């Protein structure tokens, strides 16, 4: 994205056409959605091939994983368009994404974390995505938990889309 704005300037070329900055943002989000769908679909197929799917409802893990990916893509893209240098991306990766990944319940239950950090883990999109996909895959997801996780992920995605549209308009104003 930074390359499309700063180095290649393809986004500036796009907004010189009848496209608006919001159209460029939504187009990029559509690209990310299709890429997530493809990658999650392949992962789901491999998971099923190796017998890791314990419930026929595992097909619903695909839209759940897609929503989880979008809950990250939209806010990160909204932030990324505001950057002028690429050095901030390494900081976000090292101090946000890696700890988020470690404290999401992917490798070990969040209940094994110290009590003071658990609420932070429960407020992350990745924990909700992991809990949602795990519950779907194992057939243990309750309707209340599904509603909570989907609602949280949808809210984060919606906030990222609203903010992203604004930041794109600020950066790419024609």
Give the pLDDT confidence of 26-37 residue by residue, as tens digits. Answer: 999 999 999 999
pLDDT of 6 strictly over 70: no
pTM value > 0.85: yes
Return the number of other C-beta atoms located less than 10 Å from residue 105's C-beta.
Answer: 21
Q: Is 129 exposed, middle or buried (0-12, 13-18, 19+ CB in 10 A)?
A: buried
Classify 24 as helix, strand or coil.
helix
> Which of the pair, 14 or 40, is modelled with greater confidence?
40
Whole-number pLDDT of residue 101: 86
Alpha helices in 81-124 (DSSP H): 87-92, 98-102, 118-122
- Check if the beta carbon of residue 58 is closer than 8 Å to that of residue 136: yes
Whole-number pLDDT of residue 149: 98
- Check if the beta carbon of residue 172 is closer than 8 Å to that of residue 85: no
How is residue 59 written in tokens?
Answer: 């097909």
Whole-number pLDDT of residue 1: 65
* Percent of the chain whose pLDDT exceeds 90: 60
Q: Is 173 exposed, middle or buried (0-12, 13-18, 19+ CB in 10 A)?
A: exposed
> Which of the pair, 6 or 170, is modelled with greater confidence?
170
Per-residue pLDDT tens over the stretch 44-96:
999 889 988 777 889 999 999 999 999 999 999 999 999 888 888 899 889 98
**Residue whose C-alpha is closest to residue 102's, from 135, 126, 131, 66:** 126
Which residues are CB-neighbours of 109 under 8 A, at least 6 positions away?
none
């Amino acid at each position: 994205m930074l390359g499309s704005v700063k180095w290649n300037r393809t986004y500036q070329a796009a907004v010189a056409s009848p496209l608006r900055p919001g159209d460029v943002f939504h187009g990029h989000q559509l690209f990310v959605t299709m890429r997530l769908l493809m990658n999650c679909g392949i992962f789901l197929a491999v998971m099923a091939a190796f017998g890791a799917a314990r419930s026929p409802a595992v097909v619903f893990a695909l839209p759940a994983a897609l929503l989880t990916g979008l809950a990250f893509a939209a806010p990160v893209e909204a932030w990324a368009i505001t950057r002028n240098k690429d050095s901030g991306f390494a900081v976000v990766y090292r101090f946000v994404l890696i700890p988020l990944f470690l404290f999401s319940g992917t490798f070990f239950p969040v209940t094994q974390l110290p009590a003071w950090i658990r609420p932070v883990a429960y407020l992350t999109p990745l924990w909700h995505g992991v809990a949602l996909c795990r519950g779907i895959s194992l057939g243990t997801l309750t309707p209340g938990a599904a509603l909570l996780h989907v609602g949280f992920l949808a809210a984060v995605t919606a906030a990222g889309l609203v903010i992203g549209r604004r930041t794109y308009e600020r950066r790419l104003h024609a």
